[in-house]
Chains A and B, each alone.
Chain A
Amino acid sequence: MGRKILLDKINVPGIRTYEVYRKEGGYASVEKALKKMTPDEVVEEVKTSGLRGRGGAGFPCGMKWSFIDKKSGKPRHLVCNADESEPGTFKDRYLMEFIPHLLIEGMITSSYALGANLSYIYIRGEYMWIYKILENAIAEAKAAGWLGKNILGSGYDLELYVQIGGGAYICGEETALIESLEGKRGNPRIKPPFPAVMGLWQNPTVVNNVETIAAVPWIVNNSGADYAGIGIGRSTGTKLISASGNIKNQGVYEIDLGLSVYEFINSDEYCGGMQTDRPLKALVPGGSSVPVLPAHLIYKTAAGEDRLMTYESLADGGFASGSMLGSGGFIVYDDRACIVRNTWNFSRFYHHESCGQCTPCREGTGWMEKVLWRIENGQGREEDIELLWSIQAKIEGNTICPLGDAAAWPVAAAIRHFKDEFEYHIRFPEKIKNRNHFVAEPFEKVKHLITKQTV
């Protein structure tokens, strides 16, 4: 049984309200931080914890906090990135919807550590009902004296606002988020300068994911060392995983980092095994932007070791045999899934969501989508596989922000691991006309056709 840090109180009736949350020990970290700790001590605890950003990149949170420019004398800001838009990822909404005060508490403690007096939660527009829940929670916290002037008589002031985005995936990128928060078009900024030096309103700013901020109260209450004791190596603490796809129990799970992928998929405590007990075909372990893993690389790494739910094990030395933990959007496919259609679907998303600011992303994502659409709809040409490979290679690493990489990686991995499926689509266009072509006859059963033709 994995321990619960974030979801510990999730099943307590009425935990969404301030009274119940407080009764269950809520806001203790704010009391402890403001009364007994200096801001630098809070930062040190977070550094000791080894907490890494839970938005996808996995950058050490304490180190990010320590980069904030304190010498400039300008106001500082903490911005919570609640623009959860990665397909397959739905963990933050779970936290915000069912235990909103945990995020508010984390925001206050973290803002205190950073010396921020004006903080924001930037939430995606589609989460309108959660926006209302957060607004209500902030009002409750303010009424109880946890926000505003001179909190707990410590002399520390904090105002917290929730801002709704217009529903653009790119606004989850920290600099685009800041632009959007400033009321501009959500285009990523060129870095450097980094937000820690010049962020919101040109002031030093830290942008953290919801899950990252929600972990801070536990770290302050218990100690960074305790948090670092959970997990394996540099992957410390617990992680929320939003599991979906062809598994028995879809949902949001909190796991200790270091759990094996096999146990996560097959244990009754988590995914409960494959739906209708069909064979496992592929896995996207960290949201749609990360490379897909084929069946033989899901439970074991290329070196033959057990694949673990950690940043390092899932990366496995590179994308040839690994992927990324990313945002924890765990999507499982059984043998009926069509990788080509799935890749086209992801590609369509990134084409739609590209901000259009830089050339490779603006033009390349659209091109990839069009080629994938043709292949999926029986109009592929033999040279299209090489063309796709070439396009993704020209996008990757050449764009302003990581959206270009996010669009390129799934295509690259799909071709790397499932090239024969692309070939099948191109050679047998009449067989894939049915939209659910692999449902009745999974690819494994028709794979021999390609080999026959080759011979």
Chain B
Amino acid sequence: MKVTIDGHEIEVAPGTTILQAARMIGGEVVPPAMCYYSKLKGTGGKCRCCLVDVTKGSEADPRPMPKLMASCVTGCQDGMVVASKASERVKEARNAVTEFLLINHPLDCPVCDQAGECDLQNLSFEHGKLQQRFIEDKRTFEPEDIGDKIQLHMNRCIVCQRCVEVADQLTDGRVHGVLNRGDHSQISTCVSAAIDNEFSGNMIDVCPVGALTDKTFRFKSRVWFNKPFDAHRDCDKCCGKTTVWMFGNEIQRVTARKDEFHEVEEFICNTCRFDKKDVADWVIEGPRKFEKDSVINQNKYFGKTDKVVIDTEKGILQGRDIDRKKISMAEIDYNEKIDGNPVNSKKNG
């Protein structure tokens, strides 16, 4: 099947979604996704970040689809033409979703442990506005303790429900899910039970914001101060392939390996994640490369960058035109005195 997204044509297998096709093309056509997670079944369609404009349904039915479609759950048809970043409607919709997500999400990136790895941060970087129109009180939740390994900060949750899918699909004896409705929806455990399962730590990896963070790493470092390395160990519970985040010779954090879309390659167990923090536990393979342009990659670009030209003479030595206009040396009193002493006494010699 041939699909065209923002002018890029690609051949895909039946059953491929528009988002998957866009990811095959890569680059700017890839819609953002906060709830879709390719490694988890049944995710997608909820956050509405990935809405796209289907301008031609298929060769058989070329009519455009009247509404914007969630690309992560809409299958490709042969001859389908999709406008992603090229569509103004799509841009507006993504701006709208970003604004909606930020009305109740605290803008506490400077103290949030997810800063640098936050998908919402990236989304708002591209689609957010400088000014907020929401002046009402933000919705808040009481702090809740869900165990010794995972910190739940419900005020930051965007109810993408990826963690619920992890609980459904990876863990035994699920104890948490969504409570309440509407903007009162909250991720919580049944009667504040602790989450205690060998694969529960994957909730941290799938959380796109700082709602679920690693208690063994919180506030130890900012992610951009860490050096990530691919590492592995023999593990009888999981694949044992991870990324270890080091500060000097100390392993401060262990996560699953994530791809350019911030999705894990394989889920890992809690032993690897929380208990193995000694360098001797791991075989270090080499530095981890990241392709996504987020805060985490500051000073870590592997691509070629253009040479920056600084106009020294004009920009620095002469200063701005506007400033020059305001200051006239000729008008300054040469014999001006401060506390009885001439201002220019030194200069006068």
Instruction: Please list the residues of chain A having a beta carbon within 8 angstroms of any beta carbon in chain B.
Output: 168, 170, 185, 190, 351-367, 370-371, 374, 387, 390, 394, 397-400
Contact = CB atoms under 8 A, between A and B. Distances in A.
Given A359-B48, A362-B159, A387 B133 contact: yes
A453 to B, nearest CB: 24
Contacts of A352: 181-182
A170 B180 CA distance: 13
B239 interface: no
A352 B73 CA distance: 27
A360 B96 contact: yes
A370 B137 CA distance: 9
Given A359-B47, A367-B134, A185 B178 contact: yes
Contacts of A190: 44-45, 70, 73
B12 interface: no
B301 interface: no
Contact of B45 (A356, A358, A362, A363): A358
10 nearest interchain CB pairs? A356-B185, A394-B96, A354-B182, A363-B100, A190-B45, A366-B183, A370-B136, A356-B182, A190-B73, A397-B67
B99 interface: yes
Interface in B40-94: 44-49, 51, 67-68, 70, 73, 92-93
Interface string B112-133: 0000000000000000000001
Interface of B: 44-49, 51, 67-68, 70, 73, 92-93, 96-97, 99-101, 103-104, 133-134, 136, 139, 158-159, 161, 177-178, 180-185
A387 B45 CA distance: 26
A398 B133 contact: no
B209 to A, nearest CB: 13
Contacts of B184: 356
B93 A400 contact: no
A374 B136 CA distance: 9
A356 B35 CA distance: 13
B182 A359 contact: no
Contact of B104 (A185, A353, A363, A394): A363
Given A185-B178, A399-B48, A362 B73 contact: no
Contacts of A398: 48, 51, 67-68, 93, 96-97
B48 A358 contact: yes
Given A190-B73, A356-B185, A398-B96, A363 B48 contact: no
Contacts of A390: 133
28 contacts: A168-B181, A170-B181, A185-B178, A190-B73, A351-B182, A352-B182, A355-B181, A356-B180, A356-B182, A356-B184, A358-B45, A358-B48, A359-B49, A359-B97, A360-B97, A360-B100, A362-B159, A362-B185, A363-B103, A363-B183, A366-B183, A367-B100, A367-B134, A390-B133, A394-B92, A394-B93, A394-B96, A400-B45
